[in-house]
Structure 1
């Protein structure tokens, strides 16, 4: 059975506090404890909990809500006046008594209340309240309750009985100056009520990581990935107000991006924080007495521990004792936390970050320089050495620039491969202090490499342009070649087709005029313009020119020529390189050897040769973390770990496409296939629309045609198939057409176009002969089996699929088609059903299950069938499909769909499509 979790994934603060709301609701409904005090940090969501509590209690009780502010403390009986006004005069017979009590309060407020007066007023007020029971009074920010009203609390609530159920739920802000300790009357009332068992307290704790995830999901209307959850949960320290403000800040700064309904942190944007409305920040920015200045200064210096107060006092020109007094106030306001060693930290890191953004540029530089000098002199230390390097970048010329440049350069090299953001930040700062051309060339090359390594091709190209234009004379030919490739990649990433065309024509004012380099650069520009045939022909014609050049230029030529062969249908050069690694001229150099193995693995993965790619990885002793994201995606896509594959696909797309790697373009069409196979049809189409401008056209069209076919749009699917064929022919592509010709053959057959079908079979045969891969051969056999009705061809295709069971999806599709072509349908479909299950291909699993049932074959049991049918239905509902579309996809009637939906909602407890979609999005839907 599925268990519904109310509120999961809806995103409001009350929803993530659902257990707390439930406990308060049950306690108030029972009426056994007249007073419950709910305490919590500023911004923890006390008010929103009361809002939801009011909603849930209103159907069964009269609910009055009092929201208090600091000024309410100054008006005697002010809160009681407001309560009686809220109580209303809707009962005419009670209006005289209510007016009499209001007058009594007005007179009593002019004098100090005596016990007799308190008892008299409590009796009169209780008489008004008890006739409207069950009554629940919700008081927000009860720390602002005036003393006169507070004196009535105990007397009133001690009068409550089972016959006159009155409950009060009051929230108080945790923090000196704001809690019950500052109201003697309220503190005394609470103590007396608790002693008699009539009061209890609860603390609203910070959100757990799971609750933060749920809140984030609602705020961004997408599933946040683990990295984003961890970063924001840590920065907000589980504080809902801080978390909400952070999301707004990230969005405003472009630091949050949604890909395939999943939210990610854009790492290249420095942490943006917009927490202006958070109570803790307001406690700083709206306070006088230099509180804001001290808080901002400590935001910069607090990592220096016990040395920070003295340095802050010096920076502000204060006496240290005076500054420590303000620090004590910030601790009392719960902005700061005093640590065991005597240092301080900010209770909510996001508040510190917000304060850092408010420091002016000169003050920021000055404080950073002071921090650096303290560390360099040994008078202070920090636990994170990288923080000192960031201070150096902020301080600029206010510190010893020679030492600063040396440290930043050394550490920029250290993190070059592991942390692109830091490497760029530190190397950029180094540039401002390095003026000698040779040294500047080194820094610019490192900066280009950092950007390129971390998939910032456009920015890497900009750096490369600077070096090529201003420092070409300081470069070796091999260095000039590498920078030329980075520069051309940057143009492609920016979509600068005009300059790419100039380079392809051999006319570039930026690139070196060395003949060999010119050939390679022209060829690369042609490749990135998808002019593969021209690139191959150029490289073949000028082979003698580039093979006689430096090792790097020669190897780029070898690589580009082999890649052209794979794309255009000649894999011989690739397999020669794999068999004879000595053909790589720079293979003896470790950094180039790794890149060459990566290239070979990538080409094999594009061809679907998973087993050979894995063997090459093992033989080369290559750790998987050395492979680019697109390669890791392909390994998981082919191998059947689709959850990991989609995570890698989204991360790769988040970083932007790498025009130097064709697999980046083919990655998208595989991701579309995954989504379509799982029934996520709307997401698949959205991804196709987003990716079409940048992708290899025929692969995107082909993948989307399958999705349209699933939606019943046969005409649209056929149109995309023809579009894919035209695009492939225009570019000379054979790569990515292996199953295209087979699908076109089946389409022709469905339209009774036998001769057309035979044409596509011939195309399929040529592709299989040229590529000579298992994928190409099995699709050729499937095309023959369908068009020529050859059982032997279906048997051959199925045999290849069974041999390739390590590629579950492609094998399952082949077995499905082989069964349709007449090859042992029951066995083929049963095997396909199992393989589709390995990758959670719910759409195709449902199709196979229906085939087994319609043909009278044994299928899965009733329980399994029901669960899988409901999961697929839930996924399709989450995709926004109408009942008519659901009927088409499920191959049933709209009336049947209505019945299925009714049973699904009844069994799971979800009450709407929105709730069901949220559960599917967050993974909370359970079968």
Structure 2
């Protein structure tokens, strides 16, 4: 057919043609000679032929291929182009161009391991992974959501075509290698056992697949592998459920008997998890738990690796012990919740409540109920949570009495942010609970609800006794993390870190939002933003108090860096998740509006946020809200509003007793009463807290309120430079000129102004919007942009934005 097609093209001289012939490695020697003859006939015609060859060429036609190719090259009739795979660095650039978002290292590593850098395969996987939700973009960074999941691209047929085109037995062998390949020297024997072939036939079929370029035998560690890992994954995905389990059983049996070996320590537990009850369940359970614990120990105190969590769930499925199984399912669910995979945790918890609640003690059952409610909340099943909040009945009701139902209702109400109802409901529970079994759980819920309402007695008592109770085994890690998260939300970084130290915990054991707040306030903005993005791409569909604080600070950080569009997108994402503390997001949004020059919109937004918080009785976080109200008032020349802001913040500081609220009170008191002593006290407290971003903010506010001096201007300017806060430094330069303070480094200032302009352009802002932000004219912006394009060699906004995104433009 190829011969006829080429001859027809050679004789048809009406118009130029381009013929594309793919996979020439499949041609026989005779067909290659025929191809050579026709190509020579095409010489001098308008027809061109583009051919693709995938190495290695089969041994039977290798000599003929080399001879034909050599003669054609000698006569100038063929031009060879070697297409090499992309390096990991270039693969990252490709991902960035495809996704229009910077590729995070974990995504690049995953895609490179799967495709070895071949562009077509990488694009196919990336496209499908994005469509299936395995890759998500937050803050213009592309993240891999779950490295344990495999996205099977729609164009996978081409990748496995060389395998499927072989006769039936070779295809069956290829499927066996997808599972048994890591067992190396034992593969032929085990393949013969899995399929109706002899070991000799299996060896011959493996050799044929290697000749076809599908497989290769890695002698260094005796492993059969696919040349393109993606093809191996696709072939493995084509296995039916029983087929896959049967292969896994063969692998497990060989490893247990010692007739096969594997250097990969995760291979056996993976096959145990797949084989299920086709292998000895007791031994499988023991080995799965041991493997999960080893991996958890290697990664830290938590099961950070998704494989370990999968093995834990498999161990729970293997055990027949009526006591151990619900315990393992509960542990699995809690780890899933900590990792941001609430749907998986919810599945395990529902199984406990449906089929394994009988052996649980009342306190254990209540733990399961609480975890179930948390999973419902994080999975976004708020309608179900509302129903439970109405009557305290779970989907799988048991013999729970009125007190248990009341506590269950209280937990649901707490998760829904209905804190006044929690306090009213559970006060009666504490009075009626004669056994004391539910008292501490009710107290925990009430204390948490009251904290956000500005009543701190309960949480103060809890935190005071927490270290001793934790050492005695009476307080769980979850309680510690909850109390630490509350402190971080309120800005009490030092107290949070002290509580961690007193309970023997580390920041790395906290959830991503808490870790983000610590990193940000300790002057590590890059790390903080990375943690915020990682938290945002998890499977959590809601936004609790700590996450509300995380999104607020992340958005403020983006605004300070000039990333205004990104800040808006992040805030929209957070609002879609129904935040517990929405006024924190409103505060950040108001700052963004102020930067855009939308003062009236910011004022209206803040007033609505204040009214909503007061109507709900919420006090936590309103110190930041009132400080932003004061900023807007100063912007429009209404200094009398500062007195109201001071009165409100005084109430917040009195009720919460936090350093941040007190610091805010001192700043506003200094502004309202022209009190230099309060200004010095605010500055002193900011220095003691050792939080660079916060300290620079305090200094900037004091300067803006006329309570600063030239030394403070220089100090704040330098501090903001270390944080790469482009917008605040731009504003501060205006203040410095107004106060006659020299801005250090003329060349550095010009370069920073240029970088800020490039950032604003990359955010997709128009010249008019940029002019409004920079407080200049559109004509000035046009001139500066022309100079920027000329200096950087970028011909358009799109090119400039992509160069900024990929890091190729250094300003």
User: Which TM-score band (shorter chain)?
Assistant: 0.7 to 0.9
Q: Note the alpha carbon deviations across 1:489-520, whole angstroms, 9 max, x for none.
A: 12323444455445445542537635664554
Within the candidate set 121, 131, 138, 1:259 is matched to: 138
Within the candidate set 578, 586, 595, 1:701 is matched to: 586
Residue 717 in 1 paired to residue 599 in 2?
no
Structure-2 residue corresponding to 1:175: 56
Structure-2 residue corresponding to 1:345: 225
Within the candidate set 219, 238, 244, 1:358 is matched to: 238
Matches of 2:636 and 2:227 in 1, distance apart? 69
Structure-1 residue corresponding to 2:254: 374
Q: Note the alpha carbon deviations across 1:17-73, whole angstroms, 9 max, x for none.
A: xxxxxxxxxxxxxxxxxxxxxxxxxxxxxxxxxxxxxxxxxxxxxxxxxxxxxx556
CA separation of 1:613 and 1:740: change in aligned 2, threshold 3 A: same
Contact 1:919–1:925 (CA<8 Å) still a contact in 2?
yes
TM-score normalized with structure 1 length = 0.77
Q: What pairs up with 1:4-23 in 2 under 5 angstroms?
A: none
Matches of 1:76 and 1:601 in 2, distance apart? 74
Q: Note the alpha carbon deviations across 1:215-248, whole angstroms, 9 max, x for none.
A: 1112222222111111111111122222112113
CA separation of 1:172 and 1:699: change in aligned 2, threshold 3 A: same
Q: What pairs up with 1:853-872 in 2 under 5 angstroms?
A: 853-872=737-756
Matches of 1:890 and 1:82 in 2, distance apart? 64
Q: Note the alpha carbon deviations across 1:281-337, whole angstroms, 9 max, x for none.
A: 221123346432322222122122111122223333123333333322322232211
Structure-1 residue corresponding to 2:538: 655
Count of residue correspondences = 793
Contact 1:669–1:703 (CA<8 Å) still a contact in 2?
yes
What secondary structure sits across from 1:569 in the alignment?
coil
Q: Note the alpha carbon deviations across 1:774-802, whole angstroms, 9 max, x for none.
A: 32123223334445555554444334334
Q: Which runs of 4+ in 1 moved over 6 A?
A: 74-84, 137-146, 151-157, 167-171, 198-202
Q: What pairs up with 1:358-757 in 2 under 5 angstroms?
A: 358-408=238-288, 411=291, 417-419=302-304, 421-429=306-314, 437-497=322-382, 499-501=384-386, 503-504=388-389, 507-508=392-393, 510=397, 513=400, 517-518=404-405, 520-540=407-427, 542-543=429-430, 549-550=436-437, 553-581=438-466, 584=469, 587-589=471-473, 592=475, 594-657=477-540, 662-693=545-576, 694-695=578-579, 696-751=581-636, 753=638, 756-757=641-642
Structure-2 residue corresponding to 1:189: 71
CA separation of 1:850 and 1:142: change in aligned 2, threshold 3 A: farther
CA separation of 1:493 and 1:244: change in aligned 2, threshold 3 A: same
1:807 positional shift:
1.2
Q: What pairs up with 1:160-171 in 2 under 5 angstroms?
A: none
Within the candidate set 780, 800, 811, 2:685 is matched to: 800
Matches of 2:362 and 2:803 in 1, distance apart? 58
What secondary structure sits across from 1:864 in the alignment?
helix
Residue 835 in 1 paired to residue 709 in 2?
no
Which has the higher mean CA deviation after the structures are superposed, 854-863 or 615-624?
615-624
1:468 positional shift:
3.8
Within the candidate set 681, 687, 707, 1:823 is matched to: 707
TM-align CA RMSD: 3.8
Matches of 2:471 and 2:532 in 1, distance apart? 30
Q: What pairs up with 1:35-114 in 2 under 5 angstroms?
A: 72=2, 86=16
1:355 positional shift:
0.5
Contact 1:672–1:684 (CA<8 Å) still a contact in 2?
yes
Matches of 1:720 and 1:776 in 2, distance apart? 21
Contact 2:185–2:222 (CA<8 Å) still a contact in 1?
yes
Matches of 2:567 and 2:465 in 1, distance apart? 41
Structure-2 residue corresponding to 1:164: none
1:680 positional shift:
0.8
1:199 positional shift:
11
Matches of 2:69 and 2:387 in 1, distance apart? 81
Greater relative contact order (Cα 8 A, min sep 6): structure 1 or 2?
A: 1
What secondary structure sits across from 1:608 in the alignment?
coil
What secondary structure sits across from 2:622 in the alignment?
coil
Residue 908 in 1 paired to residue 792 in 2?
yes
Matches of 2:107 and 2:92 in 1, distance apart? 9
TM-score normalized with structure 2 length = 0.87
CA separation of 1:182 and 1:873: change in aligned 2, threshold 3 A: farther
Which segments of 5 or more consecutive residues in structure 1 lack a partner in the other structure? 1-70, 89-136, 158-166
Matches of 2:125 and 2:557 in 1, distance apart? 33
Contact 2:56–2:212 (CA<8 Å) still a contact in 1?
yes
Which segments of 5 or more consecutive residues in structure 2 lack a partner in the other structure? 297-301
Structure-1 residue corresponding to 2:767: 883
Which has the higher mean CA deviation after the structures are superposed, 328-337 or 567-576?
567-576
Matches of 2:54 and 2:485 in 1, distance apart? 58
1:455 positional shift:
3.1
What secondary structure sits across from 2:754 in the alignment?
helix
Q: Note the alpha carbon deviations across 1:157-186, whole angstroms, 9 max, x for none.
A: 9xxxxxxxxx99997543214998433554
Structure-2 residue corresponding to 1:97: none
Contact 1:640–1:807 (CA<8 Å) still a contact in 2?
yes
CA separation of 1:621 and 1:79: change in aligned 2, threshold 3 A: farther
Q: Which structure: larger Rg?
A: 1
1:437 positional shift:
4.2
